[in-house]
Structure 1
Amino acid sequence: MNHLHKILLSFCIILFSFSLHAQETNDSIAKANNKLVYKFDIKREIGPAAWRQTKDAFREANKLNADLILIHMNTYGGMVIHADSIRTAILNSTIPIYVFIDNNAASAGALISIACDSIYMRSGANIGAATVVNQTGQAMPDKYQSYMRSTMRATAESHGKDTIVQKGDTIYKWRRDPLIAEAMVDPRTYIENVIDTGKVLTFTPDEAIKNGYCEGIANSVNEVLDKAGVKEYTLKSYEPSGIEKIVDFMINPVLQGILIMIIIGGIYFELQTPGIGFPILASVVAAVLYFSPLYLEGMAENWEIIIFAAGVILLAIEIFVIPGFGVAGVSGTILIIAGLTLSMVDNVAFDFEERHIKAIVASLLLVIFSMLVAIVGSIYLSKKLFSSNSLLGHLALNTVENTEEGYVGVDMAARNMIGKKGLAMSVLRPSGKVIVENQIYDAKSEDGFIDKNTKVEIIRFETGQVYVIKEEDDESDET
């Protein structure tokens, strides 16, 4: 009986081991079949932000050892330089990259899409129209078109050729016809049964499928993966990095207006209470926070930041070096406003198309309104903060010295020197310096030019300086 129990126990152990091994095998197979799909969106104008996010997404996808990258696209295009950078990153990727065109892949978006390994389109979407244009929508000169034609052809050719066997003969056909890619740029390109000359090529989903520029029509990301044969998968979506979130937050017009108020307010408070340091520090920090995100976003150019800085310098010269409000002050104010305004709009090469004029006017109004609020608010706060009974009252001079009480704005001791004789310390032409009874005074000659070391006599005192003539003895000696 004991022997039978041992046999049964051994059989159960063996059966359990086989079951455990089978479960591990099934788990390994399931894990192998489960693909990690990394998805990120390009649903904005192709520019610095799109390129930064693409780099971040690719970096994270490689770190996670993703099996597939899926780009969810809807864009009307953008800057060629950044589209080409994204295209190159896609072509050099060791991870397969699919694109789901959700409505639009125009211009730069078409270039990026053609670089991907597989293209899927939503019903009603389009791809094409990749002619290089300027900010007004007008076609650029042919040297730009030539570069774009070559780039589009090279991108299509990078996907190689398919082998097709017909009637025993082996022939090769481009997987994506380079001539079709060129026709998306050049209206002179003619392709039989595809496009006539004089038109730039744009495909609908059915047309794209027919000509090898789309693998299928889908209405969702899940449907794309299903049509691509990816049945079991884990979908990981790209989340913008901290810097991306900060940039998006900082370019908000409301926050930009607040930063302008701090910039102007800081300058005003520093002028009211020189030497404190905190107001000008706040102004500098606000300027950095204002221009940095706009620079990263590709809106603020170096020259726009420079003219703002030049405006601040001119304003400082007007205030501290040549008091008053003349050419330097007016020029400085204009440059400050121009720098703040132009940094908030895309660079349009001084193209005064209606939509660009509206953007510039809107930015200008925001800057002027923010500056007015800052100035009015600063005046109000300065009265509150620096009044005699306030917390910061000790920083302001509140004592009044009335002339009725004998207070004057200059030293009146020189009045007692009238009739005294002294020596010219410098050449008087007619102004200069004289020394009388070992005291130095600002002096003005009544006799015109007086040489240095000439004996002089003080005859009167006005406006903070003494008036002198040559001593009579000197005059008689000279004659």
Structure 2
Amino acid sequence: MIIKRNKNIIAFLLLAAILFLTLAASGFIEEQNNNRDMHGLPADARVADKVEFSDFYLCRLEGIIEPSIAAYIKNCIDMSEASGYGLIILMDTPGGLETSMREIITKILNTPIPVMVFVYPVGARAASAGVFITYSSDVAAMGPSTNIGAAHPVNLGGTGEVSEDAMEKITNDSVSYIKNLAQSKGRNSDWAEEAVRSSVSITAAEALEKGVIDYLAEDVDDFLVKLDNKTVDKLGKTYNLKSSGAVPEEIKMNFITRFLHIISNPNIAYILLSLGVLGIIYEFSQPGLGISGAIGALLLILGLYALSVLPINYAGLGLIVLAVILFVVDILMGLGGISSIAGVVSLIIGSFLLINTDAPYLKIATSLIISVALVISGFLFIVIRAVYMVHRTRPVTGKEGIIGSTAVVSSALKPEGQVRVSGEIWQAVSETGKHIRKGEKVAVRSIDGLTLIVSKIINKEKEGG
């Protein structure tokens, strides 16, 4: 058993090491790509010497703005700068973390290439942090049935944890930030302030009319046609965009970045955490298996990583940890479900408290929390019932399996002799010292070394005593 456990621990450590090395290698490769030496390009292809832009990269900013998406956008800007290409960002976002938003904006403002933001596809939105990024772009456009706005800063510390005065200071800071962006890019600063203070939203047509964006476009090709011959002044240089007929080259996320972006969704992170809990529970209900425990621990690590980039309430996380402890204690001690009931309650409360923010797009769906609670409750019912039945079942092997069983006298007990039990011949002695004839049925009362202590079964005593 110790050897099996050691092998299980080694297997888990290997899995964790592979995950760590994969993430580290991906970051190293991405860094190398960002720092590529572009001196081999012709002089007229370098941004420093280029006046006209006729080549463009395209990237997609989709979903919640968090560290992995910020790293991807910054990488796209680095690649565009190194290649002497303009960059088009297709945006569809409900908003995200302020730190990640500011990283993207700082990169856009300080790169010596034109960066265009196009709110697309049809039905897309540039909400909250998306408004700020749109305002920071050199050229902004929106597609059909798109909208922009609702940029009021949300409380990432949860309701009641930020005072009214503190929230007013945060709002004023956000207003100053977006007004500076508006003035530097020649956009409507009055509407920008209204979007931050009052969370107003407008359609694409209204955005064009109010001077929030520069163009309306049906699709990327239409945007490139309208962008043609556009002049962009940036960092003391003037660039002329020759985009008509251009075919942008899309920069796709690498696997690791996309994976981290996907699991950073609060609902996905919560599912990973829940699956990890189920794996741990199953491991303790089936000791020695190892695989379920290793996979459960790995899923827990991924879930906790995803939650680490989100505004976490540690009281909620503590309640979830307490729930896991209660589940494990119930299984190990065979408490019959009493501890697990408290664990389920702790899990539900902790889940509702886990993501500590007023932003709806960063909260865990209530339906998901209830579904997970029901699944874990059902799983625990099956596991705990199985453990309880095992504890109630009489052993059928070894010393405990023999005591209480029925034997047949194969050699008369005077008071010593032999009996047959479970197909085996055992030395036996009569418990009362009385003789027992061959062929009589006896009950095994105890074992003394290799000798069974037996007594004759009388009519009132059920066979198997």
Q: Which position in structure 1 is the counterpart of 2:181?
A: 155
Q: Which position in structure 2 is the counterpart of 1:44?
A: 63
Structure 1 residue corresponding to 2:125, chosen from 86, 92, 104: 104
Q: Which position in structure 2 is the counterpart of 1:18?
A: none
Instruction: Select between 205-214 and 364-373 the one with higher mean Cα deviation.
Output: 205-214
1:41 counterpart SS class: strand
Structure 2 residue corresponding to 1:242, chosen from 255, 258, 266: 255
- Unmatched runs of 5 consecutive residues or more in structure 1: 1-26, 160-174, 188-199, 388-395, 412-479
1:185 counterpart SS class: helix
The superposition leaves residues 289-318 of structure 1 with CA deviations (integer Å, 9 ceiling, x where unpaired) of: 44334445x376655444433444456667
* Counterpart AA for 1:368: L
1:131 counterpart SS class: coil
In structure 2, distance between residues paired with 1:88 and 1:42: 16
Structure 1 residue corresponding to 2:370, chosen from 364, 370, 377: 364
Q: Is the 1:44–1:74 Cα contact (8 Å) retained in structure 2?
A: yes
2:356 counterpart SS class: coil
Structure 1 segment 214-253 matched on structure 2, within 5 A = 214-229=213-228, 230-247=243-260, 251=268
TM superposition shift of 1:44? 2.2
Residue 186 (structure 2) pairs with residue 186 (structure 1): no
TM superposition shift of 1:114? 0.5
Structure 2 residue corresponding to 1:58, chosen from 77, 80, 87: 77
In structure 2, distance between residues paired with 1:97 and 1:356: 28
In structure 2, distance between residues paired with 1:283 and 1:307: 18
In structure 1, distance between residues paired with 2:271 and 2:363: 20
TM superposition shift of 1:225? 1.7
Q: Which position in structure 2 is the counterpart of 1:267?
A: 284
Task: Give the TM-score of the pair, scaled to structure 2.
Answer: 0.56
Structure 1 residue corresponding to 2:105, chosen from 81, 87, 95: 87
Structure 1 segment 127-166 matched on structure 2, within 5 A = 127-134=148-155, 141-159=167-185
TM superposition shift of 1:328? 7.0
1:243 counterpart SS class: helix
Instruction: Evaluate the alpha carbon distance shift between residue 216 and residue 326 of structure 1 in structure 2; reply closer, same or farther with a 3 A threshold.
Output: closer
Select the structure with the greater relative contact order (CA < 8 A; seq sep ≥ 6): 2
TM superposition shift of 1:99? 0.9
In structure 2, distance between residues paired with 1:342 and 1:313: 19
The superposition leaves residues 22-68 of structure 1 with CA deviations (integer Å, 9 ceiling, x where unpaired) of: xxxxx9xxx997733121222324345543442343344445x2511
The alignment yields a C-alpha RMSD, in angstroms, of 4.9
The superposition leaves residues 161-216 of structure 1 with CA deviations (integer Å, 9 ceiling, x where unpaired) of: xxxxxxxxxxxxxx2354443233235xxxxxxxxxxxx66555555445543222
Aligned-pair identity (%): 20
Instruction: Evaluate the alpha carbon distance shift between residue 364 and residue 61 of structure 1 in structure 2; reply closer, same or farther with a 3 A threshold.
Output: farther
In structure 2, distance between residues paired with 1:178 and 1:116: 14
Instruction: Evaluate the alpha carbon distance shift between residue 279 and residue 42 of structure 1 in structure 2; reply closer, same or farther with a 3 A threshold.
Output: closer
Which protein shows a greater Rg?
Answer: 1
2:117 counterpart SS class: strand
**Count of paired positions:** 336
* Counterpart AA for 2:221: N
In structure 1, distance between residues paired with 2:75 and 2:397: 57
In structure 2, distance between residues paired with 1:69 and 1:408: 85
In structure 2, distance between residues paired with 1:133 and 1:323: 46
Q: Is the 1:257–1:367 Cα contact (8 Å) retained in structure 2?
A: no
In structure 2, distance between residues paired with 1:409 and 1:277: 36
